[in-house]
Amino acid sequence: MKTAHVVMIAGMSTAVFLGAATLATAGDISPFLKMGIIMNGDYSEPLGFSDRLVYKGGLDIGLSDLFAIGPELQFQHLGYSGTLSGVDYTTSGNIYAFYGNCRFAPKVKSSISPFVGAGLGLAHGTSRASIEGVDFSSFSGTKGSFHAFGGIEFRSLTADLEVNRIFKSGVDTNAVVNFGVRF
């Protein structure tokens, strides 16, 4: 299973960089890294704070002074374990999402500037569950996904609110607060 993750990440990374190289003549390229915190949900659930972290990276390729397009890759790891009626159990999973984004950033005469955007893509999830160290269930699937975001930039620092949804997956719509850096 770990080999599949490495192959998927390598393939998506290659697609990001080849796409950026192809579109480099379109305008400025602005790579970014972000970390998000999923805000909705009940924190008394088995999932802890670290399970709500989402790691992100991507590129914005300027098509004009106001408009950019680009790829974004997101990763989230979920895992928890416990004991129920004296039986130890463990569940873990990963979610990878790849988006093609459109971003609008109006030019303002200030060091703080707003932006909004949206993206369509694919989300791939894997999960595995075990009881007393014996695997009894695993899942892997890919679904369409959508996200919209809006926020502010201060020099190279960003903060935004994102709403995302994986289509027909049973996963609720998530509200994510992101903080990041743009290069």
Task: Give 19-78 pLDDT, tens digit per residue.
Answer: 555 555 556 899 999 999 988 865 555 556 677 889 999 999 999 889 999 999 999 988
Domain that holds residue 136: 2-182
Which of the two residues, 91 and 62, has the higher pLDDT score? Answer: 62
CA distances from 161 to 108, 120, 173, 177 (A): 20, 17, 13, 5
Determine the Cα–Cα distance for residues 117 and 137; give it in Å rounded to an integer: 37
Query: In this structure, what DSSP letter does residue 50 have?
Result: G
Q: Average pLDDT, stretch 79-84?
A: 79
Which of the two residues, 150 and 79, has the higher pLDDT score? Answer: 150
Q: What is the CATH number of the domain that holds 143?
A: 2.40.160.20
Q: Average pLDDT, stretch 90-117?
A: 92
Q: Over the stretch 136-155, which tens digit does the pLDDT of each residue have?
A: 788 888 999 999 999 999 98
Query: In this structure, what DSSP letter does residue 6 have?
Result: H
- The residues near 9 (Cβ < 8 Å, ≥ 6 apart) are 73, 96
Total domains in the fold of the chain: 1
Which of the two residues, 129 and 50, has the higher pLDDT score? Answer: 129
Q: pLDDT confidence of 131, banded at 50, 70, 90?
A: confident
- Rounded to two decimals, what is the model's pTM? 0.77
CA distances from 130 to 13, 19, 134 (A): 31, 40, 5
